Amino acid sequence: KLPTMKMLLLLIALLSAALLASAAPPTCYSRVLSLSKEITESFKELQSSKTVDPCVETLPRLYLDIHNYCVLAKLRDFVAYPGCDRVVGVNELKEKARSLYTILISYCRRDLVFLTDDCNALEIPISPPIEHS
């Protein structure tokens, strides 16, 4: 009976630990990282859409690296870009970019460390490594 009780207590402890780990709130860094990836992917999808509006082709590139100090200027330029206000996807993207900018300069200002200030690096996205099979 004692080994069964130990197993039951161990199982309860493991389940509790798993629940606590998944309930942990996101950090500033994790939130900024996930939102920047979401924005970059949304921008790619918008550009590759079959029904893309011609004005989308004129939008500034939107490759984001939150470790690059120039990301702040990149976000400001994108949000302030005057074209494409009639395209719903662009407006949604601008709103996400505005949110990311606000999080970066307000909420996470002291938590983030910029590793570079190479603005050209935000013009040419780095391709992920190709996996060989």
CA torsion through residues 32, 34, 40, 46, sign: negative
In which band, very low, low, confident or very high, does the pLDDT at 133 lie, cut at 50, 70 and 90? very low
Of the candidate ranges 17-21, 109-113, 114-118, the one whose mean pLDDT is the lowest = 17-21
Domain ranges of the chain: 27-122
In which band, very low, low, confident or very high, does the pLDDT at 22 lie, cut at 50, 70 and 90? low
Query: Looking at residue 100, what is its pLDDT?
Result: 93
Query: Looking at residue 125, what is its pLDDT?
Result: 58
Q: 125 or 26, which is more confident?
A: 26
Q: What is the mean pLDDT of residues 88-116?
A: 86
Q: Reply yes or no on whether the pLDDT at 127 is more than 90.
A: no
CA 117 to chain centre: 19
Q: How far apart, in whole angstroms, are the C-alpha atoms of residue 37 and residue 31?
A: 10
Is residue 39 within 8 A of residue 79, CB to CB? The reply is no
Q: How far apart, in whole angstroms, are the C-alpha atoms of residue 52 and residue 90?
A: 11
Q: How far apart, in whole angstroms, are the C-alpha atoms of residue 80 and residue 77?
A: 5
Q: Reply yes or no on whether the pLDDT at 87 is more than 80.
A: yes
pTM (predicted TM-score): 0.70
CA angle 37, 41, 47 (to 5 degrees): 150
Q: How far apart, in whole angstroms, are the C-alpha atoms of residue 49 and residue 51?
A: 5
